[in-house]
Chains A and B, each alone.
Chain A
Amino acid sequence: MKCRDVKKMLSAHSDGESPAEEKMLIESHVRACQSCRTIVEEDLALWKALGTLPRAKASPFFYARLRTRIERSEIQAMERGRRISWTERLLIPASAAAIAVLGFWLGTIAGGNGDTVKQDTATQNSVASATYLDTFDSVPSASFGDVYFAMAGQE
């Protein structure tokens, strides 16, 4: 067995995971090979050094806290479920309304004779004027000013 091959097997050998037929060969090689023996010794020291890490502190009331978190997550999941059903409930009428609006809009386009597009600007302006400018009142009814003047008039 070549030294290079044994070196690759030493890790598994240290872990007691090398096959029985390799075990004897590795051990006899290590006895004779200083370089491989050094690796085995270093591995042992390494394993010991890794043991200096502390463990986690015992967690008090772990199960009680875990139960609380589980219950909380179950409540959240139920609320999420409820939210989904509300969404579903809203989605159906909303889609129906959207379809109705779309149908109305398409109907307007298909049913129109195009006159509205050709309408002259003067007519549009007169409509705007009739709707907004001519009906403009400096003291609209039920406004603060209207109430004030009404009160002043009473006096």
Chain B
Amino acid sequence: MQDTELMLRVREGDEGAFKEIVERYQRQILDLCFRYVCNQADAEEVAMDVFIQLYKSRQTYRPEAKLSTYLYRIAVNLSLNRIRDRKRKRLVSFEFLKKDRPFDPESPDSERPDAVYEAGEREAIVRRALESLPEKQKTALLLRRYDELSYEEIAAVMDTSVSAVEALLFRARETLRKTLKPLIP
């Protein structure tokens, strides 16, 4: 069933249709939020806020708007708000320094602690580089690199023009080529 049809059913009070939308987009939205907030618990909370906002606005949903674009837009805005709040409260998250993977004795990496350390280091460098980008450049880059959205879709999410997205990605790449120089052979 198409997203639009599902959303129209949600508007009519169909609980199952809402569940289907959540299951369809939960993974993408959670990943997107995680890339912004760099913390599993915060990402889950923001992702839930995204679907709550969708549910609350079901009566005003316009079928001509693409649902995925709408969800991405809410996710980006709420994630950026969360980061701003965190900065305001001066709560610096060092979550990215922790390893996301639990120790697994079966893993080939376990025999090589230096490899695990190296992977963690690389990850931290990438995160820091992404965090240092201006908000718009970061949003364009995340949507392009990880969600593989087209320039047109990114423009719709960010409510801007395709040429602006092109310029944002050009600048983001230029900056990252410098900051991630140690990782680029």
By secondary structure, the B interface counts as helix
A54 at the interface (CB under 8 A from B): yes
- Total interface residues on B, using CB and 8 Å? 43
Count of A-B residue pairs with CB < 8 Å:
91
Chain B residues, CB < 8 A from A55: 31, 34
A56 touches B48 (CB 8 A): no
Contact A66 to B51, CB < 8 A, known contacts A12-B166, A46-B177, A56-B43: yes
* Chain B residue at minimal CB-CB distance from A49: B183
Query: With A and B bound together, what is the CA distance between A63 and B22 in angstroms?
Result: 7
Which residue of chain B lies nearest to A15 when distances are taken between CB atoms in the complex? B144
Task: Produce 1/0 per residue, A13-33, CB < 8 A to B.
Answer: 001010000000000000000
For residue A148, CB closer than 8 A to chain B, the reply is: no
B26: chain A residues within 8 A (beta carbon): 59, 62-63
Given A15-B169, A45-B184, A45-B185, verify A50-B145 contact (CB < 8 Å). yes
Min CB distance A135 to B, Å, is 61
A interface, over-half SS: helix
A17 and B127 form a contact (CB under 8 A): no
> Which of B64-72, B86-94, B118-126 contacts its partner?
B118-126
Q: With a CB–CB cut-off of 8 A, which chain B residues contact A52?
A: 119, 122-123, 126
How distant is the Cα of A58 from the Cα of B44 in the complex, in angstroms?
Answer: 10
In the assembled complex, the CB of B67 is this many whole angstroms from the nearest CB of chain A, namely 17
Q: Which 9 A-B pairs have the closest CB atoms?
A: A56-B34, A11-B170, A45-B184, A49-B183, A56-B30, A54-B100, A17-B151, A59-B44, A11-B173
Apart from A17-B151, A73-B56, list 16 A-B contacts with CB within 8 A.
A11-B169, A12-B169, A12-B170, A39-B177, A43-B173, A49-B126, A50-B145, A53-B35, A54-B123, A56-B40, A57-B100, A59-B30, A62-B47, A63-B23, A69-B48, A70-B55
- A residues near B (Cβ < 8 Å) are 8, 11-12, 15, 17, 39, 42-43, 45-47, 49-59, 62-63, 65-66, 69-70, 73
27 contacts between A and B (CB under 8 A): A11-B173, A12-B169, A12-B170, A15-B144, A45-B183, A46-B176, A49-B122, A49-B126, A49-B180, A49-B183, A50-B126, A50-B130, A52-B119, A53-B123, A53-B126, A53-B130, A53-B146, A54-B100, A56-B33, A57-B40, A57-B100, A59-B26, A62-B47, A63-B19, A63-B22, A66-B52, A69-B52
